[in-house]
């Protein structure tokens, strides 16, 4: 069996394979509530052979949304709206995760397919944004620096959202500490210029991430995996580097996290990053090696052979893909066929007519 289609156990769950769907914002919610679009969007990946389907960055408070069209989990109504979506993922054989998030100074922005850019004005549905320090993202409105009470309330909001996620049936929780959003803003010296216990040293800048991991672990108990998504590098002078993030990942592992989803950049508009196939895999490999922690790799991974090689090389323990799932919601089935795997149980029975001829053709070719 290939590594890609071997199961992976995290705490009390076992994921059927290691080809997973990364969280991808759809900017299609109203008042934070997921709807039919999210239901079809996420369930199709389970039909397509994914092991784990992680729902998009989901705000723990209304002002934590990237845009007014982002999903949330700040009320029981949101919990109830997510439940049938989770059930649909489970019915198709995959596990369901959710990425809990706060967009910080990059909140209250127009969605990508709007004809407008930058911050949404308050009179048009926007709001005042929050950050570790009152430093704006280039081109966006200046945020308000969180005080100690605000930080305490934020940690509690992550805990409460984790509870609702579990009650909705999610199997895996992920903390979003990447892409220039609030927790990444705390981690990076480029956006965190505080002089209290939440700023200065790497230990202090990481404090809020670790406190959130501990709060979510306490809520989830010992059975449910908690993942953390990190940007391994700010790709800008004076910013975070992979060895910094490896240290934080190790601390987070000790605080109760189980696996780290390694991406990069997003903090500043002047970042310099070379993008190409598998461009973030070296970041994942470095954090896995230095931090001695399990990781998932992501970033222009588009074939079963490429994903399998990443695992065979020991650069990651699992694979997250994003745009390839959008191009082909059956990426998992295609990758399995490409690797010569024959996990008939991966295929929905309604699709077996497509699977069997492919299997016969592969056998004839051998």
Catalytic amino acids? 181
30 CA to centre of own chain:
21
Longest alpha-carbon distance in the chain? 68
Residue-wise DSSP of 207-273 = HHHHHHHHHHHHHHTTTS-EEEEEES---STTS--HHHHHHHHHHHHHHT--EEEEE---S-TT---
Q: What is the DSSP letter of 321?
A: E
- Rounded to whole angstroms, how far apart are CA atoms 53 and 172? 9
- Token pair 């202090």 is found at 204
Nearest of 327, 280, 356, 347 to residue 5 by alpha carbon? 347
| Residue 301 and residue 278 in contact, taking contact as beta carbons nearer than 8 Å | yes
Phi, psi for residue 193 in degrees, rounded to 5: -120, 30
Distance from the Cα of residue 239 to its chain's centroid? 21
12 neighbors 44 (Cβ within 8 angstroms):
no
Which residues lie below 8 Å from residue 199, measured CB to CB, with a gap of 6+?
Answer: 132, 133, 192, 193, 205
Give the helix ranges, DSSP H, for 92-147. Answer: none
**Rounded to the nearest 5°, which phi and psi values hold at 125?**
100, 5
């Amino acid at each position: 069996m290939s590594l890609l289609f071997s199961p992976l156990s995290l705490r009390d769950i076992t994921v059927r394979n290691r080809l997973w769907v990364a969280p991808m914002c759809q900017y299609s919610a109203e008042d934070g509530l997921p709807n039919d679009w999210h239901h079809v969007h996420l369930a199709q990946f389970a039909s397509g052979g994914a092991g784990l389907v992680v729902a998009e960055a989901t705000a723990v408070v209304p002002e934590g949304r990237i845009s007014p069209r982002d999903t949330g989990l700040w009320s029981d109504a949101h919990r109830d709206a997510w439940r049938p979506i989770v059930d649909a993922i489970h019915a198709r054989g995959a596990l369901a995760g959710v990425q809990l998030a706060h967009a910080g100074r990059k909140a209250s922005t127009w969605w990508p397919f709007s004809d407008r850019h930058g911050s949404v004005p308050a009179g048009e549905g926007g709001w005042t944004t929050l950050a570790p320090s009152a430093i704006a993202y280039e081109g966006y409105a200046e945020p308000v620096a969180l005080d100690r009470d605000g930080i305490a309330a934020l940690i509690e909001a992550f805990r409460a959202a984790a509870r609702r996620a579990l009650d909705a049936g999610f199997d895996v929780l992920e903390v979003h500490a990447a892409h220039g959003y609030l927790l990444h803003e705390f981690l990076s010296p480029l956006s965190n210029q505080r002089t209290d216990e939440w700023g200065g040293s790497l230990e202090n800048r990481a404090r809020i991430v670790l406190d959130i991991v501990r709060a979510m672990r306490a809520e989830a108990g010992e059975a449910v995996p908690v993942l953390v998504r990190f940007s391994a590098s700010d790709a800008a002078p004076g910013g975070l580097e992979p060895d910094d993030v490896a240290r934080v990942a190790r601390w987070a592992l000790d605080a109760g996290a189980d696996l780290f989803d390694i991406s990069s950049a997003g903090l500043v508009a002047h970042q310099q990053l070379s993008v190409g196939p598998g461009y973030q895999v070296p970041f994942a490999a470095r954090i896995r090696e230095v931090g001695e922690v399990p990781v998932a790799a992501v970033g222009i991974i588009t074939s079963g052979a490429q994903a399998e090689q990443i695992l065979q090389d020991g650069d990651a323990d699992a694979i997250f893909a994003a745009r390839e799932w959008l191009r082909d919601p059956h990426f998992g089935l295609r990758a399995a066929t490409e690797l010569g795997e024959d996990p008939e149980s991966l295929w929905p029975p309604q699709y077996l007519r497509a699977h069997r001829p492919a299997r016969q053709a592969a056998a004839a070719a051998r």
